[in-house]
Amino acid sequence: MDALQKVIGSLGWPHIALIIGIFFMIIFRVPIATFIGRIRTVGKAGVTTETSPLAQSDEKRKIAVDELMKVGDSIVLKELEHSTVKDLSSRGLDTEGDTVKVLIRNLAATQLALDYEQIYNLIYGSQILLLRRLNEAVGQGRLKEYMDDYFLKVKSKHQDLFTWSFEQYLDFLFKRALIITVDGKYHITTKGVDFLTWIVRNGRTEDRVL
């Protein structure tokens, strides 16, 4: 130890600084080399560097995720996503990560689109119009008397083809979760509103049979 102290004591400050500098360069040679490789310009404002490959990769992935998630965004879609995540979790399957997130969103969007396609192929024009009427009363709902009157007008207009009862006529809308009853009033559901939006967005006609 005494010998080492004597050696250090015999060295001047410039020599000690040089040794420290060499030691520093040996330890941090990789980070320093990476930094130097990223230098773009050196000027009065300082040193300008390029974005690191890792940061570029993160940014590229974020852009890709945002792009792939643009398949529509609605309350109904989010509910379907939540239901899918819950089902997967209950089975012990992984639901984390960007890839899983994108796949779940696209699966939910596909399921919803197929559901709406099937509903559209089966629903009557008068039922779509009824949804429109209920949509005009969102938050308030329609009384049974209003629904009865609407049903009788439709039945009178198509009496040669119309054989359903009031309950049968509304059964399809209930089973497809397009309408509900609350405190004796009839309301359009969030799905019902979303279905009407889907019709417009996809340019589908509402002028259908019955």
- The span from the CA of 49 to the CA of 193, in Å, is 51
Q: Please, are residues 138 and 182 in contact by the beta-carbon 8 Å criterion?
A: no
pTM above 0.85, yes or no: no
Tell me how many degrees the CA angle 86-190-128 measures, rounded to the nearest 5.
130
Contacts of residue 191, Cβ cutoff 8 Å, sequence gap at least 6: 76, 176, 177, 178
Sequence ranges of the chain with CATH classification 1.10.10.10? 123-201
Average pLDDT over residues 174-190: 97
Q: Please, are residues 170 and 146 in contact by the beta-carbon 8 Å criterion?
A: no
pLDDT in tens, 139-148: 999 999 999 9
pLDDT in tens, 43-79: 555 555 555 565 556 665 566 545 545 556 788 988 9
CATH class of the domain comprising 123-201: mainly alpha
pLDDT of residue 177: 97
Beta-bridged to residue 142, according to DSSP, are 186
- The span from the CA of 35 to the CA of 66, in Å, is 30
Give the up-direction half-sphere exposure of residue 13: CA atoms within 13 A in the CB hemisphere: 0
